Amino acid sequence: EACQAKMHGWSNMSKEDRDQFFLDRQNILVPELMKSLSAGQQCRIPNPIQTFQQAFHDYPDLMRGFHRQGFTEPTPIQCMAWPILMAGLDFIGIAQTGTGKTLAFLLPGFVHLEGQTKPRNQRRGPTVLILSPTRELATQIQTECERFSYHGIRCVCVYGGADRRTQLKKLEEGCDVVVATPGRLNDLLDSGKIS
Ligand code: ADP
Ligand code: MG
């Protein structure tokens, strides 16, 4: 469930400023894919944010994380992803490797994870699932998750070709975010080790 995430600085950009903003960033395209709107209903894609502050003003520990890592500004895909994801809307983000997609998805994930109304011990499994096609990407994502460690959120990586028991043990020790390759995830689901 998307929680009530707070965001400051929903920018009152004019349409011209917004178009220029996208042009200045390798001509980002932001197509609306929502097909199921009834007549007269409008799904407005929020304007992009331009600073960490605009997205995460109310989450000082995330702000400290940016500072700690020496980040100066959000990457283009983060500018567009954060207002959409913080609003709890669905988002597909496509951009070159190394453009910050991991944190684009992960940080709103942390916020929604913490904002759940159902207590952790009443949820049946990990709260966040990140699926990765390859083991290499899965471990990269987990590294990023740990580097940005936030409020003790625990991240476990499960993938094939590595010791299943070690991974199970980590899952049993507690897991908020699971990063998984599909084969190993299915295996753990089928054997009832994860929900
Ligand atoms: P992608 O998933 O798009 O391939 P990554 O998420 O792996 O890219 O990010 C590449 C690197 O950039 C990582 O080391 C990450 O910590 C760093 N990074 C992410 N966001 C920013 C930012 N706003 N400013 C500077 N570096 C960033
Ligand atoms: Mg990458």
pLDDT (tens digit, 9 = 90+) per residue, 89-104? 889 999 999 999 999 9
**pTM summary value:** 0.90
Beta partners for residue 156, in sequence order: 178
The token pair at 42 is 């409008």
pLDDT (tens digit, 9 = 90+) per residue, 135-161? 999 999 999 999 998 999 999 999 999
Instruction: Output the pLDDT for position 33.
Output: 76
What's the CA dihedral at 54, 91, 1, 155 to 10 degrees?
-80
Q: Which of 56, 66, 79, 103 to mutate to test the pocket of ligand 1 (most atoms within 8 A of CB)?
A: 103
Q: Tell how far the Cα of 163 is from the centroid of ligand 2, in angstroms.
A: 25
CA separation for the pair 146, 112 (Å, rounded): 17
Instruction: Output the pLDDT for position 123.
Output: 82
CA separation for the pair 65, 148 (Å, rounded): 6
Is the CB of 101 within 6 Å of ligand 1?
A: yes
Which parts of the chain register pLDDT below 50? 8-9
The ligand with the least distance to the CA atom of 137 is 2
Reduced to 3 states, what is the DSSP secondary structure of residue 32?
coil
Query: Which atom, in ligand 1's list, is nearest to the CA of 102?
Result: 6
User: H-helix or E-strand containing 127?
Assistant: none
